[in-house]
Amino acid sequence: MNDTLKALTLSKTEAKAYFAENTRKQKDLLATIRERHDDLKVLLKKVDDHWGCEDLVYRFYHHSYKVHYAADLAEEVFDALTRLAPWGLKRAPDALKRIRRIGKVSGRREIERLFHARYFLEMAVKYGKKYKHPPSLMPSGYAALIYLYGLR
């Protein structure tokens, strides 16, 4: 259920408290991203490196068994993204759990999972540096990032 629908089922006081808590969590997430921004940039550079996505996509089209290395790289990215959640790892949001389950079955699924991981890492690097407070008009990438953490 999205924030708007959830707010419709709450009293005015409960809705204010809900949105205040959501805003606080977004601020905490942004602060954590800023603290780890340099490490996230290094990881993004690794993913974008020749031996990252570039080589792994080639391996997929070449039907190489090495495409399965995409699973390791995606897992490294999702581990970093999961550690950003300031409210703890035990309550990983459903969106993050769903993407992590995309699978280590076929090369296509591993590449798809890597693309998702790369996208969210890029959004964390981009918007974690740009914002100290949640924007009132959200760019799509920021909205996707906070959706990953169950805040949208």
Q: Quote the CA–CA distance of 138 and 132 in Å, as a whole number.
A: 13
pLDDT value at 122 more than 60: yes
Q: Quote the CA–CA distance of 130 and 45 in Å, as a whole number.
A: 18
Q: Tell me, what's the pLDDT at 41?
A: 97
Mean pLDDT is highest, among 9-18, 104-113, 135-144, for 135-144
Residues 30/131, Cβ–Cβ less than 8 Å: yes
The b/e string for 116-137 (b: 16+ C-beta within 10 A; e otherwise) is: bbbbbbbbbbbbbeebeebeee
pLDDT digits (tens, 9 = 90+) for 60-90: 888 888 888 888 898 899 889 988 887 665 5
pLDDT digits (tens, 9 = 90+) for 85-112: 876 655 556 666 666 666 556 778 888 8
Residues 104/143, Cβ–Cβ less than 8 Å: no
Taking the CB of residue 7, how many other CB atoms lie within 10 A of it?
A: 17
Looking at the chain, the number of H-run helices and the number of E-run strands are: 8, 0
Q: Tell me, what's the pLDDT at 144?
A: 93
Instruction: Please name the residues in contact with 132: beta carbons below 8 A apart, sequence gap of 6 or more.
Output: 27, 30, 31, 34
10 vs 2, more confident: 10
Average pLDDT over residues 3-19: 73
Residues 132/37, Cβ–Cβ less than 8 Å: no
Q: What is the pTM of this model?
A: 0.82
Sign of the torsion formed by the C-alpha atoms of 144, 104, 54 and 92? positive
DSSP 139: -
Q: Tell me, what's the pLDDT at 89?
A: 54
DSSP 50: I
